[in-house]
Structure 1
Amino acid sequence: MIDLSSDDAAKSLRVREFYLGRQPILDRNQALFGYELLFRNAPVGPAVIETPGLNATAAVLAHAAQLGVERTVGDAIGFVNVDADAIMSDIFGFLPREKIVLEVVETMEPTPEVLARMSELVSQGFRFSLDDVKADTPHVESMLQMVEYVKLSMRDMPVDRLMRLAPRFKQEGKKLVAEKVENRDEFKTCLDLGFDYFQGYYFAKPVIMSGKKLSPSQLAVMELMSLVTSDADNIDIERAIKKDVSLALNLLRLVNTPAVGARQRIDSLSQAVTILGRRQLQRWLQIMLYAEPSKRGHSMTPLLMLATTRGRLLELLAHKLRPSQHHVADIAFTVGIMSLMDTLFGIPMAEILTQIPVVDEVSEALMWRGGFFGDLLKLAECIERIEDMEHYIVPTLRDLAMSTDELVELEMAAFEWSDNVVRYAL
């Protein structure tokens, strides 16, 4: 096994270029349980220094761990993919075992050496997940006793096979994860079959309902947002906030989150309006739209998490690319957070844009993924769906003249910020 503690090894790891996807894993109540972290080697030029004796997966994982896996998963659990070479390497000193589940694919060759190493890692407190299980093969059987989670993919999985495999693994005491769940019907099927956890973007797909009306609280926030974006006096904005007591309290709680970065505690609405300014106030009202359904017992946390992460990532990207234009970063945040409002409200995006006045650039990005902001939004969406849309990321980064290292650093900052906000918002 290679020793990664030396300075030379650490330096050579830092030159590894990779990008990162973070896919939510939800429990039966659709609350956030964990993330699958998808580390992808970026295709780079010949100047990359390889870490001798350490394969690409292990090197990328060790590099990610040096950046801080905790920053990436917050309070949740991180599922990370490892192959046989990574299992046999000495990367595990880098990984926080209490925060991590090691994920192996069912096709991995379970040699006696690999099984012995898995057993050793389990005895050290690491947990394993068996990914993409399609049948109860001898390979699966040999690894089953060491794994805590079994993942079954909904893609290309016949329902009759699913109905046979799910009870079989439940009987063995395994926690079942349905992955690549793409719509509500698949979620319902897996729920009925007793699955414990669900991975996929079914929760972010709009279910459009004709004639759907916004709740009184959402309407109050929307009205307030139009006051904030117009030239209304601060006193009128304050008066409107005070009309809805829960709105006022929630807003005060949100503006005191560390994510706001205020130097002093904000104790009154007039202070909030004065200290934050219009653009910041608009941002927290947009976030409140996502937080509000959770307070009525609907689990919108993953949507809130996704929207705040998108908003922040777009803001950071815009700031990096156009540092002298502060308003551009503000617009980018709005595009990111509004991009999921059709799902939040169950109303077509075109209809939302008649209710929330936005500039043409925002409208073009939200409706057609067009223009500068549309490019940023497409990049964020591709990162979320890195398994299917990986080919789009590198050309986009090239167009934006940005390195993968810079992207990962911004992503991790966005993850951290979003986790912070959600903790205070709910």
Structure 2
Amino acid sequence: MSDIASGSALQSHWIREFFLARQPILNRGQGLVAYELLFRRADAGTASVVDDLAATAAVIEHATELGMENVIGGSLGFVNIDKSVLMSDFVQFLPRDRVVLEILETVKVNGEVLDRVAELRKAGYTFALDDVINESEDVRLLLPHVDIIKVDIAGLAPGVLDQLSSRFRTAKKKLLAEKVESLDEYRRCLDLGFDYFQGYYFAKPAVLSGRKLSPSEVALVRLMSQLNADAENADIERTIKQDASMGITLLRMANSPALGTGHRITSLAQALLLLGRRQLQRWVQILLYAEPMKSTGMLSPLLIMATTRGKLLELLAGHIAPRNRNMADMAFTVGIMSLMDALFGQPMDKILEQMLVVDAVKEALLAREGVYGEMLKLAEFMEQAGESPLQIDTALTSLGLTREDLFDVQVDAYAWSEQVSRQA
């Protein structure tokens, strides 16, 4: 097995040469269960998963030092490993109860590989096969040793998908459909018995089109409109009291460390006074995403993505204009509102007709224009796992930011999103 020796200077160099991205993995109820963690080389012209052992080791060690909970919260983390990482001692830096090790399709299987997988399974690690598109000899050899099969459904003929899903279900393996980009694809894989789903179908407006808002959601939209119109506190309090669960949630959120009031809040009037309009507006925006999944007890992927975008844009604004609180607030609003078309199943322009926002926010949401639009594009590039790292660098340059600036705020945004989403 390989032996890794790398000093802190080398690690710091490697870490800042990579972008970390996380992609949600959902269960059959569309609740968040895991993230795939991807490391992309910052100066790569194409999307190549890290395959350099020293670089991978440095990034893994750093992620471990940050605390996996800051990156994945209470969910599992799927991590790509090639043969060099599999055979190294360094893979054991990853907590066995928090990760699934994805064996890349480039790994050529032999006795040494099978022995190593068996050894790590005995130590408590869980394995998945990545990007399966057929039942190759390598897949057949590894099948008894893995728990999850990730099927790349992009471009896969329907008949082949049927055969693969049937074969792996017969083998009692969990099935994960990756690159699911439409509601139709999700439903087809659901019908075929897939257990998990990865792709951005859930963030597209068609997913929830036609659904009716619940009474609580109607109350939240009304409250948001009142806040945008700068209504009186008495009117706002009256709206909150019309929905008992909203009032209870407000008090819980008002006392959350994530919102940082620093005081014990026991009444709605006190909450409104101490929170202020800025924090209250954030709370309402967050609850809009939390409401549809509340009855299931599962985390909504839209909630996670929206809160991550909001916090990321807010922190980036702090680097661009450190003393401009208003800019940071507007950046947060752009980030968190950017998925409301998917949330409500309506075009963004229709939503903005019902919600009063300033022109700069509207331009960002409708056309990705202006400084907020550039920040939003940067967040979207990051979500796509850095498939075109040059786009990330271009966006950073246009904002006057560096890779180090992005590195400094990214994990903070992940950690804040996980904390506030679990309290919503």
Mean CA deviation greater in 388-397 or 193-202: 388-397
Going from structure 1 to structure 2, the CA distance change for 1:404 and 1:118 (only over 3 Å counts) comes to farther
Q: Please name the residue that 2:88 is paired with.
A: 89
| Pairs aligned (count) | 415
SS of the aligned residue for 1:386 comes to coil
Contact 2:210 2:345 in 1 (8 A): no
Q: Please name the residue that 1:240 is paired with.
A: 239
Q: Any idea what the Cα deviations from partners look like across 1:150-199, whole Å, max 9, x if unmatched?
A: 10012111110010011111111211100000011111111111111101
Contact 1:383 1:389 in 2 (8 A): no
Q: Any idea what the Cα deviations from partners look like across 1:280-329, whole Å, max 9, x if unmatched?
A: 11110111111122235597711111111111111111112211101111
Q: Please name the residue that 2:79 is paired with.
A: 80
TM-score using structure 1 length: 0.92
RMSD across aligned positions (CA): 2.1
TM-score using structure 2 length: 0.92
Contact 1:27 1:198 in 2 (8 A): yes
SS of the aligned residue for 1:80 comes to strand
CA distance in 1, matches of 2:211, 2:36: 34
Q: Please name the residue that 1:322 is paired with.
A: 321
CA distance in 2, matches of 1:398, 1:210: 37
Q: Which amino acid aligns with 2:321?
A: R
How much has 1:388 moved relative to structure 2?
3.6
> Residues 125-164 of structure 1: matches in 2 within 5 Å?
125-164=124-163
How much has 1:10 moved relative to structure 2?
3.6
User: Quick one: percent identity of the two aligned structures?
Assistant: 50
Higher relative contact order (Cα pairs below 8 Å, separated by 6+ residues): 2
Contact 1:110 1:142 in 2 (8 A): yes
Matched, 1:26 2:59: no
CA distance in 2, matches of 1:81, 1:313: 25
Mean CA deviation greater in 300-309 or 69-78: 300-309
Going from structure 1 to structure 2, the CA distance change for 1:356 and 1:162 (only over 3 Å counts) comes to same
CA distance in 2, matches of 1:391, 1:154: 26
Question: For 1:13, which of 3, 11, 14 is the aligned residue?
Answer: 11
Q: Please name the residue that 1:38 is paired with.
A: 38
How much has 1:128 moved relative to structure 2?
1.2
> Residues 204-219 of structure 1: matches in 2 within 5 Å?
204-207=203-206, 214-219=213-218
Q: Please name the residue that 2:397 is paired with.
A: 398
Contact 1:80 1:100 in 2 (8 A): yes
Q: Please name the residue that 2:419 is paired with.
A: 420
How much has 1:264 moved relative to structure 2?
1.6
How much has 1:101 moved relative to structure 2?
0.8
Mean CA deviation greater in 364-373 or 200-209: 200-209
Matched, 1:290 2:294: no
How much has 1:209 moved relative to structure 2?
8.1
Matched, 1:62 2:65: no
Q: Please name the residue that 1:49 is paired with.
A: none
Q: Which amino acid aligns with 1:206?
A: P
CA distance in 2, matches of 1:116, 1:324: 57
Matched, 1:103 2:102: yes
How much has 1:218 moved relative to structure 2?
2.2
CA distance in 2, matches of 1:301, 1:133: 27
SS of the aligned residue for 1:34 comes to strand
CA distance in 2, matches of 1:204, 1:235: 36
SS of the aligned residue for 1:198 comes to strand
> Residues 138-287 of structure 1: matches in 2 within 5 Å?
138-207=137-206, 214-287=213-286
Going from structure 1 to structure 2, the CA distance change for 1:3 and 1:346 (only over 3 Å counts) comes to same
CA distance in 1, matches of 2:289, 2:123: 40
Q: Which amino acid aligns with 2:259?
A: V
How much has 1:267 moved relative to structure 2?
1.1
Q: Which amino acid aligns with 1:13?
A: Q
Going from structure 1 to structure 2, the CA distance change for 1:196 and 1:213 (only over 3 Å counts) comes to closer
Mean CA deviation greater in 407-416 or 184-193: 407-416
CA distance in 2, matches of 1:210, 1:165: 31
Structure 2: runs of 5+ lacking an equivalent = 45-51
Q: Any idea what the Cα deviations from partners look like across 1:374-423, whole Å, max 9, x if unmatched?
A: 01111111111125443311221233343334323312111111111121
Q: Which amino acid aligns with 1:226?
A: S
Going from structure 1 to structure 2, the CA distance change for 1:2 and 1:400 (only over 3 Å counts) comes to farther
CA distance in 1, matches of 2:53, 2:137: 29
CA distance in 1, matches of 2:97, 2:212: 44
SS of the aligned residue for 1:97 comes to coil
How much has 1:104 moved relative to structure 2?
1.3
Going from structure 1 to structure 2, the CA distance change for 1:2 and 1:67 (only over 3 Å counts) comes to farther
